[in-house]
Amino acid sequence: MKFGKELALLMVQEWQEAYIDYTNLKSLLKDILRFKQKNKPSQQMPTLPNGGLNRRVSLYRAFSGLTRRPSNITEEDVEDQVILVNAVQQVGSEGCYHTQFLKSAEKGGEYELVFFRRLDDEFNKVSQFYKMKVGLVFNEAQELNKQMDALIALRLKVHKPTVPFEDVIPSWDSKGNRSPVCKEMAHMEVIEEIEKSQRGTDHKPEADSTLASLDVLNHVNINVKLETPRSTIKGIFTDSKHRDLTFSIQELREVEEQLKRAFFEFYQKLKLLKSYSFLNLLAVSKIMKKYDKITSRSASKAYLKMVDNSYIGSSDEVTRLMERVEATYIKHFSNANRSKGISALKPKARPERHRTTFCLGFFSGCSVALAVGIGVIIHARNISNHDRRGQYMENMFPLYSLFGFIVLHLIMYSANVFFWRRYRVNHPFIFGFKPGTDLGYRQVFLVAAGLAVLALAGVLSNLDMDLDPRTKSFQALTELVPLGLVTVLLVTFCPFNIMYRSSRFFLLSCLLHCVFAPLYKVTLPDFFLADQLTSQVQALRCLEFYICYYVGGDFRQRKNSCNKSQIYQIFYLIVAVIPYWFRFIQCIRRFSEEKDKMQGYNGLKYLSTIVAVVIRTIYEQKMGTTLKIMAGASSMIAAVANTYWDLVIDWGLLQWHSKNFCLRDKLLVPHKSVYFIAMILDVLLRFAWLQSILGFREFFFFHRTAVTAIFACLEILRRGIWNFFRLENEHLNNVGNYRAFKSVPLPFNYNEDDDKDE
């Protein structure tokens, strides 16, 4: 793999603007190469007027080498030196470097001069960005130091040792052994603060090896995170963001878990910084070697010497800080078990397994075979013209269509993951997945294919048993096949470590946050999932039909009396409103916290959608000219508002002053036509609700339940398209703000007044 592609693959995508523009520098080198090839001299050696060979000019200079005094500048330095690199002190910047190209008078030297100017700009940009980031992580390290002081003091307070410990320096004998007092405290590992590696046989501990003082606990509070309904309600009534320490074991455990997450995220920042430094230094080395090769000069040695002496080339602060973080985490959070601590800080990515690819192909083939088999049976037995066709479509089709909606949504999400990775959208960071736990597109597609096999096998077995005269006595049993398939979905709630447990629990936690939306802080995964639910309204109605069909006992007589039930009709309306209500409440919560007017407008958008869904559902149940007009008007308003929000706010498109017509300045997909096609499809699919207003309930040979399912699938397809461009826009916002880290709240809050006094 060429280095340019490797750099694009390994770089932190959110920092891509801060990396050396390796591609542009290579293009400048190509300009130099084209000029040299165009002006390449003849291969024949030029001769002097007298017929002799043309010798170097230096061979005709006065000879003074034996008597000349020693000098630091050699003949090679005078004649062959190509560049001089000097550090330039500029206002508002530090560590800027300027390269003086000494061969600019030569033919074509202006190309090389442009190259070095561009290289200086790129290197200065990288060096300043790196120095700025290092300063930020050191500020965060100081804050983590204060957090650790409070944690150690809290451990002392909670465990309550029986010997005095406040400001005590352990005594040592001449052999370097602890005194009896310290041996008595040695069993309390949480308060042992002496680094064994820093003392020798004749050395005493340093001054900072004193046990932590409890005075720090008088200056801190524990931050209250509004993460549970109970804590949210309590925070509303108490109107306080902090609470005093209770010195309980449970409180200590919560603090430790929170600090473990903080140290983990901090370590990931250091890893990214180290990778950033390495890749940029390697890029400079590569580009200078290419320059030497093209121009047949020896400029890389001088330039790389400057790079080595620069801050980014000589600083090892990040490496030393990583070592200190590892030592702290191992000692304080992994019981001095190095392998356990390192594995927690450096989780391994889930390896790609051949069995995943094999199972994916196997289940996909089985799905196709089953679908073909169902088509053959329907055609061979003329089921489409069967006198009980309407009864089957009313009873069984809604039960099986639930799995069709889920499988289609999983396929679309699998395609999203594939294209996110292809176009370098950092979706694991955006969603907040733990490293190594995010599912690839193969795993998602495998789940979809496996579920499709079960559903299609159920449909095939149901058709066969329903129409076979020898098994008519098992009619009630055939009706239980879909119910048995639904139980497969309960695997999502399985607590055992099977079938991607971390991903399943992440999904359930986001779903819980959606259900109790106003009582949880709204994050991107929460409202992203709620948006997915708005496209699965028909699937939620199928679940309602499951409850009515089986709990009511209709499956025994193979009849459908649900539509005649008033309670069913009411819940048919409520179920359709629930996903939009989740999003409405989430917008209200964000508006109250962030004071962002856009969240208020977004809430009004979902409120208009709720009104449209309610009126349209009532019209489907009762009909009437007045209801038809109201449903059409409300649906039109909601559709226009949602379409504008999709294209302008969520996707960031339709920017009239952009360099890309009607798009945005930055695009990840190289083909602009893709964006215009997506916008057209979004508009068309947004207005698919017109079929319910215009009365397209049956067309061709499709039953009305099949027509409803088809339009529901169109909405799922629209949501899949929306997903890609929504996350692309979010990723570009992160890139524009160089946002590559998650912010982790710290458990202890130091009193500001005390800090000022200090």
Is the distance from CB of 558 to CB of 539 less than 8 angstroms? Answer: no
3-class secondary structure, 192: coil
Compare 22 and 381 and report the one with higher pLDDT: 22
The number of domains in the chain is: 1
Cα 361 to Cα 83: distance, rounded to the nearest angstrom: 59
- Residues paired with 97 in a beta bridge: 87
CB distance 100 to 83 below 8 Å: yes
State whether the Cα torsion 575-580-583-584 is positive or negative: negative
Q: Is residue 234 part of a domain?
A: no
| CA 28 from centre of chain | 35
Residue 315 placed within a domain = no
Q: Does residue 53 sit in helix, strand or coil?
A: strand
Has residue 593 been placed in a domain?
A: yes
Paired with 748 in beta bridges are 222
Cα dihedral sign, 281-287-288-290: positive
Supply the pLDDT for residue 431: 92
| Residue 165 confidence class, pLDDT cut points 50, 70, 90 | very low
Full residue range of the structural domain in which residue 424 is found: 354-736
| Residue 90, beta-bridge partner list | 93
Q: At what angle do helices 673-686 and 625-644 cross, to 10 degrees?
A: 160
**Residue in the structure block whose two tokens are 């509004």:** 226
**Amino acid residing at 189:** E
Domain membership of residue 547 (yes or no) is yes
Helix, strand, coil percentages (3-state) for the chain, rounded to 5, are 70, 5, 30
Contact 262, 144 (CB under 8 A): yes
Model pLDDT for residues 553-588, shown as the tens digit of each residue: 777 777 778 888 889 999 999 999 999 999 999 999
> What does the pLDDT read at residue 284?
93
Per-residue three-class SS string for 83-143: EEEEEEEECCEEEEEEEEECCCCCCCHHHHHHHHHHHHHHHHHHHHHHHHHHHHHHHHHHH
Structure tokens at 404: 């069709």
In this structure, is residue 568 part of a structural domain?
A: yes
On whether residue 546 sits in a domain, the answer given is yes
Q: What is the pLDDT of residues 383-397, one digit of tens each?
A: 777 766 777 788 888
Residue 423: inside a domain, yes or no?
Answer: yes
Range from 213-217, 530-534, 687-691 that averages highest in pLDDT? 530-534
CB 499 within 8 A of CB 491: yes
pLDDT of residue 347: 81
Asked if the structure places residue 638 within a domain, the reply is: yes
The model's pTM? 0.81
Q: Kindly state the average pLDDT of the residues 361-375.
A: 93
The mean pLDDT of 511-525, rounded to a whole number, is 90
